[in-house]
A and B are shown apart, each in its own frame.
Chain A
């Protein structure tokens, strides 16, 4: 157990639907990152939060949104789902926001859109 908790582990949903992925960072970590891994693609950076505030944004679609709550857990909301959104979604956390801090990854949420 890495200390980063992601729920659910698996999710199957239909096109057009909306889902919420949840992440609890490792105790003491203030920064949360979301990544998407599609077939044959590397880990694609979506968005970063630090202590409740958005810090950096990657190639996140407008249909996707995220937030970090006062208790530091984070949620990634995916709406109007398309078949191409099927992927493994990882959350990671680090102690602080800065390039020198290593990540601790959660076990991921496997999303299948049918």
Chain B
């Protein structure tokens, strides 16, 4: 059974802090790793899709890295803002495109 683990489960930071969280996934038969942002009362929204070892993606203050050989990805948020408060999901992509999601890291940013 494929397992995608995310840590920490939750994180409370002050506005302006930089933060990062981890996603661990099986390193064999790797296809893709996705990150999604899920705000309360909304639907998950795609942040990044990464397919190659060493991939780095950036969107504003948010960036992600990928290590397929050791089976982990990091998501970084620089200078957290209250509007960054959300649950961040990572998902391991199967060959057909179906995604296996982790349980997410819930980020709360205090003003």
Contact = CB atoms under 8 A, between A and B. Distances in A.
Interface of A: 2, 4, 31, 33, 35, 41-45, 48, 50, 55-56, 58, 90, 94, 96-108
Q: Is the interface of A mostly helix, strand, loop or mixed?
A: loop
Interface stretch (B42-50, B58-66, B69-77, B78-86): B42-50
B46 A103 contact: yes
A101 to B, nearest CB: 6
Given A42-B103, A100-B51, A102-B34, A48 B46 contact: no
Interface residues of B, number: 25
B100 A100 contact: no
Interface in B83-106: 89, 91, 93-104
A88 B98 CA distance: 18
Contacts of B43: 2, 4, 90, 105-108
A97 to B, nearest CB: 5
A94 B45 CA distance: 12
Contact of B32 (A35, A44, A90, A100): A100
9 contacts: A42-B104, A45-B98, A45-B101, A48-B97, A56-B96, A56-B98, A96-B97, A100-B93, A103-B46
Contacts of B104: 42
Contact of A105 (B32, B44, B96): B44
Which of B46, B97, B99 has the most A CB atoms < 10 Å from its CB? B97
Contacts of A94: 97
B93 A55 contact: no
A98 B93 CA distance: 8
Contact of A45 (B31, B45, B89, B99): B99
A78 B21 CA distance: 36
A54 B41 CA distance: 30
Nearest to A4: B43
Interface in B1-51: 31-32, 34, 36, 42-46, 49, 51
Contacts of A50: 96-97
